[in-house]
Amino acid sequence: MRYVDIEQRRKKILCAIIETYINTGAPVASRSVAQMFRWSMSPATVRNVMADLEEMELITHPHTSAGRIPTEKGYRFYVDSLLEPRRLTKEEEVMINKLLNRTFEDFDALMQAYSKAISLITSVAGVVLTPRLRKTIFKRIEFIQIAPTRLLVVLITGSGMVRNYLMDLEEEFTKEELSRISNFLNSELKGMFLSDIKDYLTYKMLEYHDSFYAFLKRALFILSMPNLLNMQEKMYYDGTATLMSYPEFRDISKAKMFLKLLEEKRGILELFYEDMEEEGVKVHIGLEDICKDIQDCSVVTCNYKIKDRIAGSIGAIGPMRMEYGKIISALKYISELLGRALEGRDRI
């Protein structure tokens, strides 16, 4: 009598159901599964296994006579235990490089292009986050005096972000003094995290009690102006129109909730920032913790590095019925490209 590994059979059938449903969006019948295995299993055998999988809450059926569809628990098991790596094809890599291997006029254009590339290659929404404050590196600062007590400050980070701040000062600074301060800061602080600058200068002031102390105090006064170093992280996304073509978003109320989630950003940002604490790809199946009205969506995130340090994150958002293997490979590939692109901007 031929030995049958029941557990292995369950895994094969579950994998077949999930991958078929991902590709078609239609409930999967036992006869279709039997055909996939070239009738090595009868439809009756497949139905019995489906009943076991349903009892285990890995699949369900929309109504009595329908085929089966994966549950959130089923997708989780699939991603954690059954998913096989899926390398990008040469054609897909060429497509990505064609989109991204060019000169961008500014930082915003670069980040938006990467979110668009993610969306195009994954067929879901692409998301790119700028580096967090404590991950953002100082590169250069410039002062442009508009009036004796009005100053335009141009702050440039290591990743290429440029931010302009208009300041009204309580005391006057001469052009010579501003030039001396900027030269000092550009020499002393280059390569330092923005979040460490104030503490560093405050500590340095403790070492001096002469004219240099007064100079440092003036420099710190400018850097302590509201919002100068408290740079707001930005989220770039693309592909909402693509998402709306999925059957899952034909429900107008669900589509509106998803668009609201992207617009408000808060829940998504918190999720991405949590994932930045550790290396690697993270797969979140079901978004009930973020928005209970769109819990049947998934988020895949992947960190990118600048100078071998985790700096920011990219990701893909879409229905649970997404091509996880392809998306994971695409995010790994694109995150490496983004890290190199931002390092390149740092050398400019």
Integer Rg of the chain from CA: 26
Residue 257: CB atoms within 10 A of its CB come to 16
Selected residue with higher pLDDT from 321 and 191: 321
With cut-offs at 50, 70 and 90, classify the pLDDT of residue 345: low
**Is the pLDDT score of 329 beyond 70?**
yes
**Is the pLDDT score of 222 beyond 50?**
yes
Q: Does the domain at residues 90-132+234-346 carry the CATH identifier 1.10.3720.10?
A: no
Task: Determine the pLDDT at residue 227.
Answer: 66
**Is the pLDDT score of 314 beyond 80?**
yes
Q: Which two tokens stand for residue 159?
A: 């990743």
> Which of 344, 323, 343, 348 has its CA nearest to residue 118?
323
Q: Which two tokens stand for residue 101?
A: 């291997």
Task: Determine the pLDDT at residue 346.
Answer: 52
**Is the pLDDT score of 173 beyond 80?**
yes
Q: Write out pLDDT tens, residues 182-200.
A: 999 999 998 888 878 888 8
Q: Which two tokens stand for residue 157?
A: 């980070």
Compute the distance between CA of residue 77 and CA of residue 58 in angstroms, rounded to an integer.
8
Average pLDDT of the segment spanning 114-120: 96
Compute the distance between CA of residue 121 and CA of residue 118 in angstroms, rounded to an integer.
5
Query: In angstroms, how far is CA 65 from the centroid of its own chain?
Result: 40
Task: Determine the pLDDT at residue 48.
Answer: 92
Which CATH fold would you assign to the domain 134-223? Enolase-like; domain 1 (3.30.390)
Report the greatest alpha carbon distance in the chain.
95
Q: Which DSSP string do the residues of 51-112 spell out, in sequence order? A: HHHHHTTSEE-SSTTS-BEE-HHHHHHIIIIIPPP-PPPHHHHHHHHHHHSS--SSHHHHHH
Cβ-contact 135, 323 below 8 angstroms? no
Start-to-end CA span in the chain (Å): 71
Task: Determine the pLDDT at residue 169.
Answer: 81
**Is the pLDDT score of 92 beyond 90?**
yes
Compute the distance between CA of residue 132 and CA of residue 109 in angstroms, rounded to an integer.
18
pTM of the model: 0.79
Task: Determine the pLDDT at residue 252.
Answer: 85
φ, ψ dihedrals at 307, nearest 5°:
55, 45
Average pLDDT of the segment spanning 4-26: 90
Task: Determine the pLDDT at residue 289.
Answer: 66
**Is the pLDDT score of 3 beyond 60?**
no
Task: Determine the pLDDT at residue 1.
Answer: 40
Compute the distance between CA of residue 92 and CA of residue 89 in angstroms, rounded to an integer.
5
**Is the pLDDT score of 265 beyond 90?**
no
Q: Which DSSP string do the residues of 224-291 spell out, in sequence order? A: TSTTSS-PPP-EEEE-HHHHTTSGGG-SHHHHHHHHHHHHH-HHHHHHHHHHTTSSSEEEEE--TTT-
Query: In angstroms, how far is CA 324 from the centroid of its own chain?
Result: 15
Average pLDDT of the segment spanning 137-149: 87
Q: Which of 83-87, 104-108, 123-127, 174-178 has the highest mean pLDDT?
A: 123-127
> Which of 114, 154, 152 has its CA nearest to residue 130?
114
Task: Determine the pLDDT at residue 133.
Answer: 63
Domain borders along the chain are 6-82, 90-132+234-346, 134-223
Under DSSP, the state recorded for 135 is: G
**Is the pLDDT score of 348 beyond 50?**
no
Compute the distance between CA of residue 117 and CA of residue 211 in angstroms, rounded to an integer.
53
* Residue 331: exposure state from Cβ atoms within 10 A (0-12, 13-18, ≥19): buried
With cut-offs at 50, 70 and 90, classify the pLDDT of residue 51: very high
- Secondary structure percentages of the chain, helix, strand, coil, to 5: 50, 20, 30
Q: Top-level CATH class of 6-82?
A: mainly alpha
Cα atoms in the 13 Å half-sphere on the side-chain side of 65: 0
Query: In angstroms, how far is CA 76 from the centroid of its own chain?
Result: 20
Task: Determine the pLDDT at residue 311.
Answer: 83
